[in-house]
Structures are given as structure tokens and as C-alpha cells.
Amino acid sequence: MLKSVILAAGKGTRMKSETPKVLHEIFNKALVSYVIDAVNNTGLADENFVIVGHQAERVEEYIKLNYDNAKTVLQSPQLGTGHAVSMVLPYLKDFDGEVVILCGDTPLITSETLKEFVEYHREKKSDLTVMSAIFNNPTNYGRIVRSADGMVSSIVEEKDATQEQKAINEINAGIYCINWQKVMPAFNDLKTNNAQGEYYLTDIIKWGNENNLSVNGYILKDNNEIFGINSKVNLAEATKMLNSRIINKHLINGVTIIDPATTWISPETEIQPDTIIYPSTYIEGKNIIGKHCKIGPFAHLRGDVILEDYVKIGNFVEVKKAIIKSHTNACHLTYIGDSEIGSNVNIGAGTITANYNPLTKEKSKTIIKDNVKIGSNSVLVAPVTVEEGANVGALSVITKNIQEWSLAITRAPMRVIEGWVKKQG
């Protein structure tokens, strides 16, 4: 099996945030998670090493909470990218296989590209393969220097490059695949004779050539995949790029999206054909949406939502951690959370499932069975079950279970005081 080393020790000064750079989020998912998931989804890797440094405890806690096959390794002090990778030497001294090295702030990298990259490395019988990209404007990137036979001879950082080297438009994408036992000695031989005074990971390319290893370069097809996050501006740009990729996938698969520019859909959301997504809809987290559904406009799905076929989630409706079965409508100004809702249910405007107890800090479930009708401006205080066919009158607060085919109503009787307005004058 393959292992990965993910560089996540940097402070991210330009983010201007107390949050470690790799824990900033897109669709409520940390940047480093996108990278780990991309590696895991290749089906090739069995273990990931995340190199931590700045606010190491926070990153370590996140990794432990979310991944069984990832462990953190502390880099302190931080003496460069080559030094960072050397931190895993004690863990991999006996490992005889391939290691992929990536950056933890590149959330757009895909498992498809990584799998193709590793396959290229294997097909070329390479000892060391670097991923590269062709940029019209390569300023600030390390340049890929190739020999006459097309092999990669070195990577030269911008600050160390000659004018001739700066004219090269093939740049280092920052991802490597190495045969570990052959390249491992390089990390003890790296030097700091460069403009930054650091141990450069890029120097393993030159080391490989000096030690007669096979060093190749894989040219990336979509440059957006290596877009790195160094500022909040970059974060916003990456979010747009990721969302555009997701939107296009759903459009190709038969989903109608009225206005892609104002629609946001998380990468973990599955949507079946013939569903319509209306403008200004925001869908985050992991969700499954069936066929012929209508979502929005101005709807918000917060994650862990399953919508069966022909469900309508209308304007200003928020849904979280809920299962809603087929032919059910929640059309206006409603909150549905921690709920199971049956088929052919109509949720009236302004309905709220009150699922959170602020005193006990516990969340409870609301269960609404098939063919139920909930009147407008009703509140269902969980835990509560509304059995099949029951009706809830408008303006009701439901705190007890309702039997099937019953009417539940809690509002006070209407009073009309004749002439009241004129008497006030």
C-alpha cells in the first residue's frame, strides 16, 4: 500500500486569523480534510502522516477526531519543507513502498488526479516523480528544469533562479511520489545553502539525479487543482472554483440549476436527475436528494439530509439532520431539524421543529408520519410524534404525541369585541 505525507505546519500569516490555515473551511470542511480525503479516495493509501507545527494541538485534535488512518507528527522548529518530511523518518524507516507528499492547503486536488499521478510513476518505473503544471505567468513558483532527454534535473525556487530559469513556464506543483527506500537517504543529505536558509524539499530532485535515480515529471491537466490557500482572498476564490466544479457535475448528470452563480452545493451532496435547484440555495454537508425534487429559492440544507423523490423544500426553509419521504412539501419559512417526516405530508408556512433544549443542551427528534398536515405557524416541541393522518391546527404548540387521524389544536378561541376601535377615540 501507499502512504502519504501532508505538510500542514505553516502559520498562514496572510490569513490574518487565529485559526490554523489548514483548519479554515470550505462548506464546513477543513482544507486539510479535502487533501486527506483525496488521498483516501484513490483506494491506494492505507496511512497518512500530517506534519503539524503552528497551533499543533488544534490540528492534532481535529485529525484524531475525524480520521482513523491519519496521525500527526510535530515539526519543531520549522526549518523548511524538506525538514518537515524528514519528521516521518522514525515512522517509515522499515517501510518499502511509495510515499506521496502533498500540501495541506490545496483543497482542489482530486483523487482521480492523484491516482493517475501514481499510475504514471509506476508506468515510468520512476524512483521519484514530481507533479508539474504549465503556467503562462510562472512568477513566484519554483521552476522545473529538464534535461535534454526530458527527465527532471532540478527544481529552482524563484528567489534562487537565474533570468534564464525564470523564463521557464513549467512549475513545481508541490506534489511528489517517491519510492521511499531509495529516496529516504536524501532527507539526511539536504543542505540550507539557499536564499531562505531552509531545507528545501525540492532539492530531492537534484539529489536523485546525483544518485542516478529515475526522476520524472507528471504534467497536471487542470491547474486549478493545485490552487493553494494563503489568504482569505484565496479561500474565497477556491470556494468558487470548487462550487463551479460541483455545479457542472450536477448539470451534466441531469439536475436543473436555474442560477449557478447564486447556488452553492457541497461536494458530499448527491442529487438525482430531474431535480430543480432554484436561485440563492445553499447546500452544505452530506446530503442525498432524490429525483423530481424542488429546492429553493433561498433554501438552506445544513447536512445529514435525505430527501426522497418529489419533495419540495421552498423559500426560506432550513433543513438539518432530517429524513423527508416522497411527495412531502415544506414550502415557506420553516425550520426542520432532527426529524423524520413521512410521505404526503404538508408542512405549513412558519412551522418549527423545536429540537434543542437549552437547559440540558440535548437535541431530540420530531417524528411525523405519512399523510399528516401541519398548520401554519406551528411549533412541534421534541421529542414528539405525530401519527399517520393527524392534523395540527395553525398556531399550535405541540408538546405531546398525537394519535393517528386526530386533530390537535392549542390556540385560544378567537374573540371579537365590537366597536372597540371607535371607543378608543
**Cell matching residue 104:** 495541506
**CATH fold group of domain 232-408:** UDP N-Acetylglucosamine Acyltransferase; domain 1 (2.160.10)
Q: How far apart are the C-alpha atoms of 420 and 398, rounded to whole Å? A: 32
pLDDT band at 74 (very low <50, low <70, confident <90, very high): very high
Q: How far apart are the C-alpha atoms of 334 and 353, rounded to whole Å? A: 9
pLDDT at 114 over 90: yes
Active site residues: 332
pLDDT at 198: 84
Average pLDDT over residues 161-180: 95
Mean pLDDT of the chain: 96
Contacts of 7 (CB under 8 A, 6+ apart): 51, 81, 84, 85, 101, 102, 103, 104
Average pLDDT over residues 182-195: 88
Q: How far apart are the C-alpha atoms of 322 and 328, rounded to whole Å? A: 13
Q: How far apart are the C-alpha atoms of 245 and 339, rounded to whole Å? A: 31
pLDDT at 11 over 90: no
pLDDT, tens digit, for every residue of 75-89?
999 899 999 999 999
pLDDT at 73: 97
Average pLDDT over residues 52-69: 96
pLDDT at 104: 97
Q: How far apart are the C-alpha atoms of 421 and 425, rounded to whole Å? A: 7
pLDDT at 193: 76
pLDDT at 157: 86
Residues of the chain with CATH 2.160.10.10: 232-408
User: Measured in whole angstroms, how far is the alpha carbon of residue 62 from the centre of its chain?
Assistant: 14
pLDDT band at 398 (very low <50, low <70, confident <90, very high): very high
pLDDT at 159: 86
pLDDT at 224: 96
pLDDT at 1 over 90: no
Measured over the CA atoms of residue 60, residue 65, residue 66 and residue 71, the dihedral's sign is: positive
Residues of the chain with CATH 3.90.550.10: 2-226
**CATH fold group of domain 2-226:** Spore Coat Polysaccharide Biosynthesis Protein SpsA; Chain A (3.90.550)
Lowest mean pLDDT among 35-49, 154-168, 226-240: 154-168
pLDDT at 109 over 80: yes
pLDDT at 195 over 80: no
Average pLDDT over residues 295-313: 98
Of the candidates 227, 234, 236, 242, the one whose C-alpha atom is nearest the C-alpha of residue 175 is 227
- Percentage of the chain lying above the pLDDT 70 cut: 100
pLDDT at 280 over 90: yes
pLDDT at 194 over 80: no
Average pLDDT over residues 94-113: 97
pLDDT band at 205 (very low <50, low <70, confident <90, very high): very high
